[in-house]
Amino acid sequence: KHILRAFFKPMILMVVVGATHLAFGKALGFPALVSSEEIYETLTGRILSAVHDISPLFSVMSVAFVVGTVVQEFWRGTAVRMRSKGEGALEALVALTLRAKRRYGGYVVHVGVAIMFIGFTGAAYDVEQEKALRPGETMEVSGYTLRYDGARSLVDPNKRMLFTDLAVLDDGKSIGTATPAKFVYRTHPDMPTTEVDIRSRPGADLYTIMSTVDPETKMATFRVIVRPLVMWIWLGAVLLILGTLLAVSPSVKEVLAERRSPKPVRISRTAVAVATLLLALTAVVAFASGAQAQSDGSSSLHAGSVTIRNPEERKLFERLLCMCGDCQRLTLANCGCGWADNKRAELRQRLASNQDVLAIIASYRDEYGPKSLSVPVDEGLDRALWAVPLGGVVLAAFGVVGVGRRWKRRRGPVPAPGPDVPEASPAAASDAASDDY
């Protein structure tokens, strides 16, 4: 009963948020249910695909439950102090937090992690488009307009760099220039790296990838990805760091107690806490610098001139790993080394001869072994890769229920109050509750 009472309001909030997401999510561009391609052509594939399809709704409802629970805890403590101490709402909230910093700092950490999951959910709404452009031509992707202005090359002692310049417009307004590139290093001329241009906006991140450039016509092929809600990851990370700082920072009583301690030789808890606080502040500065760098920068990928001609090729190449020995387990959809180019040409010929994608994947696995697949097959011991974690989650859920029932039996029934026991007054109850706040 106590558990149900504690979680009743957060559960109501969770249901309301879920219903709102179902009703209005699609109109806002964030539908509660999405569609995904099955990674297996089996019952397992259908089950995993269904789990993925409902993951945005499940994620949003989970975030609502966590945030609702934490807000409820802050409100309860604040209300008790307002009644017992006569403090205002803001004063009571600050005093409550400072009185039990480890407890409420932990709550803030939980909220930070929950908000980060909103950002992770944005991956379900990715918009991806690939198109070949001549200088002066444009492409439209999820409200963004990219105009290809041309290509240019630079050379330094270590590498040759090929840049492509694209003007980025949001609803007709210029928001900057994207410059995806390819770097060809002298030590590995057959393994170019792709420099992904990243534009970070409050609503979404824009990733621009240059696949190929024709040296004669300057026609270039671009792959553009728009991923919404990424900013929530940074916001959640900031809250996580702030909650950690709050939890580890020493209280005034601890500082005064350590100053009065007659044993200055030992390392005090306050010194450890202050050192941890300084380290955390350093992490905040580094985090902010990294976030700013990512907002208007680039990211390197060992990937080269890869052009996907149709969905069938994408399905095949994304499941096969490059086996040249030098690549870091990149798929044939991303790796641009010479070995991968030759293998893609061979596989395209097999697709052109109407060979089934699953048959090609099976023969690739027979030739190079199970490690050549990005997604393990749904058979034999490979099935344990997803079955064991899922079984562990189910067993853990049953374990939590079993432990809760055992504790309830050990406590026994709650004794009824005797006739001579006076009922506690509201003021006394408030004073007793304030001891925890």
Can you give the pLDDT of all 437 residues of the chain as single tens digits? 567 777 889 999 999 999 999 999 999 889 999 987 776 666 777 877 888 899 999 999 999 999 999 999 999 999 999 999 888 889 999 888 888 888 999 999 999 999 999 999 998 999 988 888 999 999 999 889 999 999 999 998 888 999 999 999 987 788 899 999 989 888 887 777 888 999 888 889 999 998 888 888 888 889 899 999 999 999 999 999 999 999 888 765 665 565 555 554 444 444 444 455 455 555 544 444 444 444 445 554 444 456 777 878 888 888 888 888 766 677 888 777 778 888 889 999 999 998 888 889 889 988 888 888 887 776 666 666 667 777 788 888 788 778 777 776 776 555 555 454 444 444 444 444 445 55
Instruction: Give the pLDDT confidence score for residue 381 in this predicted structure.
Output: 64
Instruction: Give the pLDDT confidence score for residue 340 in this predicted structure.
Output: 83
Question: Given the DSSP bridges, would you call strands 296-301 and 188-200 parallel, antiparallel or unpaired?
Answer: antiparallel
* Segments making up each domain of the chain, as ranges: 1-99, 126-230, 311-375, 381-407
Q: Are 354 and 339 in contact (CB under 8 A)?
A: no
Q: Answer whether 0.95 is exceeded by the pTM.
A: no
Distance of CA 119 to the CA centre of its chain: 6
- The Cα–Cα gap between 39 and 378 comes to 9
Instruction: Give the pLDDT confidence score for residue 7 in this predicted structure.
Output: 84
Q: Are 45 and 362 in contact (CB under 8 A)?
A: no
Instruction: Give the pLDDT confidence score for residue 385 in this predicted structure.
Output: 66
Residues 6 or more apart in contact with residue 233 via CB below 8 angstroms: 116, 119, 120
Instruction: Give the pLDDT confidence score for residue 40 in this predicted structure.
Output: 66
Give the chain's count of helices (H) and strands (E): 12, 10
- The Cα–Cα gap between 62 and 117 comes to 9
Q: Residue 338: how many CB atoms within 10 A of its CB? A: 12
- The Cα–Cα gap between 178 and 164 comes to 8
Q: Exposed, middle or buried: residue 366 (CB in 10 Å: 0-12, 13-18, 19+)?
A: exposed
